[in-house]
Amino acid sequence: MFQKCTVCSAPREVQESVNLQLARGVRMIDIAKAVGISKSSIGRHSLKCLPRLTLEKYAKNFTRRRLLITWKNTVGWVPEAGKYPEVGRFYLWDGLVPIEKKDIRPDDATFVVEYAPRLVSPPADPPPPTS
């Protein structure tokens, strides 16, 4: 039968104090004496619960930034994506997937491509193969 961790079952202040002391490198025997929880319980907590708690905290605060790309004045054939992107449209960098402006997130990073005038025409790249 699954048994809940003694430290995790303790009041929040006790958990936080134990976690803080563990993080500071206080000896488990000293933490155990101070909070009245057995050293083995604190040992189990530090081995099994702390890594999970750390990951959960990290996952909650972490939102993956996306990289977008857009072309301002002209586009060429993008061989990696196998397509001609549209001028002014936004694409996810990965796979050059078109994305609507309303779906752009505040933390997205956008790579804006603008060619110098002498490069605007004619497009030097070959047209995509038609099948």
Residues that bind Zn ion (CB under 5 A): 5, 7-8, 45, 49
Cis before 122? omega within 30:
yes
Angle between helices 12-23 and 28-35 (to 10 degrees): 160
Residue nearer to Zn ion on the CB measure, 7 or 68: 7
Residue nearer to Zn ion on the CB measure, 5 or 14: 5
Least distance CB 20 / Zn ion (angstroms): 14
Least distance CB 30 / Zn ion (angstroms): 18
CA dist 25 and 19 (Å) reads: 10
Residue nearer to Zn ion on the CB measure, 15 or 70: 15
User: Which stretch of DSSP H or E encloses residue 56?
Assistant: helix 50-61
Phi first, then psi, for residue 66 (nearest 5°) are: -105, 150
Residue nearer to Zn ion on the CB measure, 49 or 96: 49
Least distance CB 50 / Zn ion (angstroms): 7
CA dist 106 and 55 (Å) reads: 24
Least distance CB 45 / Zn ion (angstroms): 4
